[in-house]
Amino acid sequence: PRWLHCGSAFCKNKSDSEELQKIVENEPQKNDRSLVTHDDLFERTSKDSKTKASFNKVVEVFSKKDIRRRGHVEFIYAALKKMPEFGVERDIAVYNKLLDVFPKDVFVPQNFIQKMFNHYPRQQECGVQLLEQMENYGIMPNVETKVLLVQIFGKKSHPMRKYQRIMYWFPKFRNANPFPVPRELPKDPVDLAHFSLTRIANDLDATVTVYQHPLTDITETGEEISQPHIVGIQSPEQRALLAKHNPNRPVFVEGPFPLWLRKTCVHYYLLRAEPVPPEEKLEEELDPELVGPEQSLFYPQLLSLDLNRDLGDDDSFDIDEVEEGPVYAMCMTGGGDQATLAHWICRLQETNPILGRVPTFFRLEAGSGELQTAAGVQYNPGQNPQAGPEMEHITEQEAARSQGMKQ
């Protein structure tokens, strides 16, 4: 059975949440109509804590107050705005509860004229906005939402269409990310560093080593000494490359570089070397057992036959490769100062003894740096302190490099 409804809301005077039950009885007697918005109801309820329970309570109180649900459109808009404050914007049960506020069967069109002329447009727009907020936060609606929408708006309404669109596109793009980030990131900074380093390492053989755990010590004099965590990663290939590194050329500790994981930004540091200019490149001696006329054809160790390719098939791109120096190791620390990074280098030296002979530069930018230094920035020796006793040797190299190599 349906009866005429007026969809417009008139605002009533709302008192405290504890007396809301009394309001239900006293409604017909109260005659003063001061302009109070629905937001007030949420503010008053949540004086102590803004939780899902208090939000649900407000919605229930509104639903029970009036069988005709006068002012439900404005109430739902206010509730949608208040959801992030209560922390319930990712909860599908709360959205279903809010959708329950709409009176059922009233807005379903009954005849062809109502179907033609956008029946109850304001309520349909409100339903669409509710679903749009769900879509915005990436929440998948469930079958309860669908049942509610059919009961409230009918099968061919705008909110139902929007629901169908959400249900079509969300599953299509859910697993589109080849490097997925879990929604719940590990809280422990060491675990977070472990996860992000394995993510950027691009090598499944790379091993993560925790060089230092976070510690806060209070010494006898009462000073606080805090040790930030240091987590490093290095793969066997990088170790081999570092072993072949020319000790006359310096290596650089660069950083911090930003890495975004959903909403958190972590910073990592690199140990890398400059690209070798072509005149100093050493030809790699190929093992005669692998390639060449002496290779064994019965037990081949290296097969590079492109048997599936036609003569004209060429997948390479007609472009020069970007010259970049090799990256030898990466790390993430709590504090980005030089002392921590020097400690990292010392610990790296245990597995890579060549680091003891190679001069190490620290290129640290205050604050989060860029992935590459700008083309115009000149390398300033005064800013970067050097680790290692060969000061003059290093300054000569710098002078040679700033003239010779383009930055």
Q: State the residues that interact with other proteins by CB under 8 A.
A: 136, 146, 150, 155, 160, 164-165, 169, 172-173, 176-179, 181, 196, 199-202, 257-263, 265, 268, 270, 272, 312-320, 322-323, 327, 330, 368, 370-375, 406-407
Distance CA 41, CA 78 (A): 10
> What b-and-e string marks burial along 285-313, b requiring 16 or more CB atoms within 10 Å of the CB?
eeeeeeeeeeeeeeeeeeeeeeeeeeeee
Q: How far is the CB of 370 from other proteins (least distance, A)?
A: 6
Q: How far is the CB of 293 from other proteins (least distance, A)?
A: 32
Q: Which is nearer to other proteins, 161 or 393 (CB)?
A: 161
Q: Which is nearer to other proteins, 45 or 235 (CB)?
A: 235
Nearest to 171 by CA among 201, 137, 141, 193: 141
The distance of Cα 360 from the centroid of its chain, to the nearest Å, equals: 33
Burial class from Cβ neighbours inside 10 Å (0-12, 13-18, 19+) for residue 401 reads: middle
Q: Which is nearer to other proteins, 61 or 259 (CB)?
A: 259
Cβ atoms within 10 Å of 102's Cβ, excluding its own: 24
Q: How far is the CB of 311 from other proteins (least distance, A)?
A: 10
Q: How far is the CB of 270 from other proteins (least distance, A)?
A: 5
Q: Which is nearer to other proteins, 15 or 373 (CB)?
A: 373
Q: Which is nearer to other proteins, 20 or 88 (CB)?
A: 88
- DSSP, collapsed to helix, strand or coil, labels residue 218 as strand
- Count, in order, helices (H) and strands (E) of the chain: 13, 9
List CB contacts of 232: < 8 A, sequence separation 6 or more. Answer: 197, 208, 209, 211, 329, 330, 331, 332, 344, 347, 348
Q: Which is nearer to other proteins, 64 or 122 (CB)?
A: 122
Tokens 């700033």 belong to 402
Q: How far is the CB of 198 from other proteins (least distance, A)?
A: 10
**Three-state secondary structure of 43-84:** HHHCCCCCCHHHHHHHHHHHHHHCCCCCCHHHHHHHHHHHHH
Q: What is the CA radius of gyration of the chain?
A: 33
Q: How far is the CB of 200 from other proteins (least distance, A)?
A: 3
Q: How far is the CB of 239 from other proteins (least distance, A)?
A: 17
Q: Which is nearer to other proteins, 327 or 345 (CB)?
A: 327
